[in-house]
Amino acid sequence: MKLKVIGCGDAFGSGGRLNTCFYVNADPVRFLIDCGASSLPGLKKYGIHTQDIDAIVISHFHGDHYGGVPFVLLDAAVNGRSKKMQIISPAGGKQRIAALLNLLYPGTEVLEKLDLEFLEFRRDDLMDLGEWRLQAFDVLHTDKALPHGLRIQVSGKVIAYSGDTSWTDALFPLSENADLFICECNFFYTQVKGHMSYVELEKRLPEFSCKRMLLTHFDQEMLYRLDEVKVESLTEGMELLI
């Protein structure tokens, strides 16, 4: 199984990085974890066609994590996609994406042209998706965005992803014995409600049981201080074999 980092930046494109988007190829299923506003250009940069995406999993409803979905769907429709695509999100995903499409491209009939299945996850429930399974955990971010961490079981491996969050002990069961844990770490020193700082995370590192942790979602403060960080970090274009 391979994970390609399409984007791993924050909401403001710090360091010129694209918004969050990870492409997982776990044949026979291929899916995106988050699809921020800049995801479609990133996917095309790395030669990933919308035909190569079976599902999109959305951690929460902020533009840098799901704002690219309308563009991916438009591209799929223009290119004559006929096979089903699943969109898996917190409650209300279909309504929010339909509203985005109407704002960005009034009069579009993309949702009618494509074979889309909208699914909603619920906290702690294990969602059986056939070739893979998904479990969502509550995390601490903007409440109205319905933030969740994601634990995905596929091809005998576990990928855990924090989504956007302040420190919460929920990160321990979320990432327990995971083969890969992608953890947001927006700041180095600064502590802001809804995001993590490295100095806060570093104190808890010995308590994690995951096999590998990589940090993501950096602001400029983190980018300046990466040489002081003792945990691996993501970069765009990185491909991880899990």
Q: Which of 175, 164, 131, 182 is nearest to 25 (CA)?
A: 131
Domain that includes residue 152, residue range:
2-241
Q: Give the helix ranges, DSSP H, for the chain.
A: 39-45, 63-66, 69-78, 93-104, 110-113, 171-175, 198-202, 220-224
Specify the 3-state DSSP secondary structure of 50.
Answer: helix
Dmax of the chain from CA atoms? 53
Cβ contacts of 46-52, under 8 Å, gap ≥ 24: 46/4, 46/6, 46/237, 48/4, 48/6, 48/23, 49/79, 50/75, 50/76, 50/79, 50/81, 51/76, 51/79, 51/81, 51/83, 52/25
Please tell me the total count of domains within the chain. 1
Tokens at 52, concatenated: 């190569």
Residue of 89, 96, 104 lying closest to 31 (CA atoms): 89
Contacts of 46 (CB under 8 A, 6+ apart): 4, 6, 23, 237
**In contact, 40 and 66? CB cutoff 8 Å:** no
pLDDT at 212: 98
Domain of residue 165, CATH code: 3.60.15.10
Q: Given the structure tokens 């409803």, which residue do they identify?
A: 61
Which tokens sit at 197? 């700082």
Q: For the chain, what's the residue count?
A: 242
pLDDT number for residue 50: 96
CA distances from 204 to 136, 160, 207 (A): 22, 17, 6
Quick count: other Cβ atoms within 10 Å of Cβ 177? 11
Predicted pLDDT at 124: 86
Distance from first CA to last CA of the chain, Å, rounded?
Answer: 5
3-state SS, one letter per residue, for 99-122: HHHHHHCCCCCHHHHCCEEEEECC
Residue ranges of the chain with per-residue pLDDT less than 50: none
Predicted pLDDT of residue 129: 96
| pLDDT value of residue 146 | 98
